[in-house]
Amino acid sequence: MIVFLLDLFYATKNRFFRFLNYKKNLKSDLVFLDSLPKSDFYIESKSKILILELNNFHLELLDSIIYYFESLGYEVDVVVRIESSYQNAIKLELRQILDLLKDTSKYDFVFFNTMFLSLKTQHHIKTLANINAKYGILGIYHTISDIYKFRDMPNYKEGRYFALRKLNFRGMAVSNTLSCSKEIDIKFIKNDIATFISIGFPLYHRNFREKLYKAIEDLLKDNINNFRFILIGRNEFKDLRFKEYISFFKNPTTLELHEILKSSNPHYTFGFFDSFAHKHYLYNSTSGLRQFSLMYNLPFVINKKFGESFGFDNNNAIFYDSSLYQALKYAIKLINTDKYNNLKFNLHTLNEKLNEDSITLLQSCISKLKDNK
């Protein structure tokens, strides 16, 4: 009860300070956007779909979105910020992207990988541009409560928006799903050291390191030492313990990430999700770790409640309720066995179906919007 009240206090305090800073940050953003220098440019293209990511995150989804549209026979233009690490795209300055959006009439659809521009505050696409593509806008809401936040219900009701899995927030269901988990073909070689990998924001959330340290201590007490954990995040951990068993990589590019995977040959994705700190992942958004598990075919070691919410089951993931240690012990025992290979096969089968269903659903949405034009 005390822990809950402390969590509630800090959450309320953070919301209060965010509110105080919002107007100040908004003014700063508007000054910044107004100061962007103008430049002339033109994209010569016969493509019917324009795909954009205005931010330097969510870039790992672009290959899947391109794949979905190309599977439906569309040629696509993909535009990202010039400072982006994503390679298979036209790279423009932010001002050039905003100017591009002033006239998109040559495209059938403009697809936004993220429905807002994040600066010091978040700026919805509709405040930045009036999209005049032939059939309008499509896009992904990574957090579906943002549909309420940005008052974007009309486009939602028309079926223009997608989530990464089926979500339901306060009675608002998003059943249009694009899994965005096209499998990345990296050949892992046999590895006798059970290797677990985790990536992204959950690393920095409540008690992650304490839970990890406790699990390592319990494994070592049981004379189990053929394991290691790989952590990948934006901000480096200080005073990291058990360095013999933990490796940390700070903010790698996609190419660097693939080199890390090739050299470490991991067996599992893992996440220590907390029912309070991470409850938004149950109904409002999706952790990038879900995509990571699917895309790299690395079975998830995960709390049962969150694993089931993410669409996994005991045939393609390893669940635990209270004993993380027992789940890790079982996972370590399982490597290089037929049971482990079955987990990977079942995960691959699930992902194939998710991507096939995504293509079918995207085609259906496009057809309905064209018919209703």
Percent of the chain with pLDDT over 70: 86
- CA dist 228 and 196 (Å) reads 6
- CA dist 301 and 347 (Å) reads 13
User: What is the CATH T-level fold of the domain 194-352, as seen in this structure?
Assistant: Rossmann fold (3.40.50)
Residue 28 has pLDDT above 70, yes or no: no
- CA dist 127 and 150 (Å) reads 10
- CA dist 156 and 368 (Å) reads 14
**What radius of gyration, in Å, describes the C-alpha atoms of the chain?**
22
Query: Which of the residue ranges 75-89, 188-202, 264-278, 291-305 has the most confident prediction, judged by mean pLDDT?
Result: 291-305
Confidence of residue 24 (pLDDT cuts 50, 70, 90): low
**Average pLDDT of the segment spanning 146-153:** 93
On whether the CB atoms of residues 76 and 49 are closer than 8 A, the answer is yes
Q: How far is CA 321 from the centre of its chain?
A: 24
On whether the CB atoms of residues 62 and 118 are closer than 8 A, the answer is no
- CA dist 114 and 127 (Å) reads 14
pTM, two decimals, is: 0.87
Residue 39 has pLDDT above 70, yes or no: no
Using one digit for the tens of pLDDT, what is the confidence trace for 171-184?
A: 888 889 999 999 99
Predicted pLDDT at 50: 97
- 165: nearest Cα among 282, 314, 59: 282
Cite the residue boundaries of each domain of the chain with CATH code 3.40.50.2000: 194-352
Of the given ranges (45-49, 139-143, 307-311), which has the lowest mean pLDDT? 45-49
Q: What is the DSSP letter of 104?
A: -
User: What is the CATH T-level fold of the domain 49-182+354-371, as seen in this structure?
Assistant: Rossmann fold (3.40.50)
**Crossing angle of helices 338-371/62-71, nearest 10°?**
60
In the chain, which ranges are continuous DSSP H helix?
2-35, 62-71, 94-100, 125-128, 145-149, 153-157, 208-221, 254-264, 280-283, 288-295, 304-309, 324-334, 338-371
Q: What is the DSSP string of 233-271?
A: ESSPPSS---TTTEEEEES--HHHHHHHHHHH---EEE-
- CA dist 233 and 209 (Å) reads 13
Predicted pLDDT at 327: 96
- CA dist 361 and 352 (Å) reads 14
On whether the CB atoms of residues 66 and 89 are closer than 8 A, the answer is no
Predicted pLDDT at 175: 87
**Vertex 64 angle, CA 60 and 70, to 5°:** 140
Q: What is the DSSP string of 5-68?
A: HHHHHHHHHHHHHHHHHHHHHHHHHHHHHHHSPP---------SEEEEE-SSSSGGGHHHHHHH
- CA dist 275 and 280 (Å) reads 9
Q: What is the DSSP letter of 363?
A: H
Confidence of residue 257 (pLDDT cuts 50, 70, 90): very high
Instruction: Please state, rounded to an integer, the average pLDDT across all residues of the chain.
Output: 88
Using one digit for the tens of pLDDT, what is the confidence trace for 326-352?
A: 999 999 999 999 999 999 999 999 999
Q: Name the one residue in this structure whose structure tokens are 């953070």.
A: 14
Using one digit for the tens of pLDDT, what is the confidence trace for 199-255?
A: 986 676 768 888 899 999 999 999 999 999 999 987 777 777 898 999 999 888 888
Confidence of residue 192 (pLDDT cuts 50, 70, 90): very high
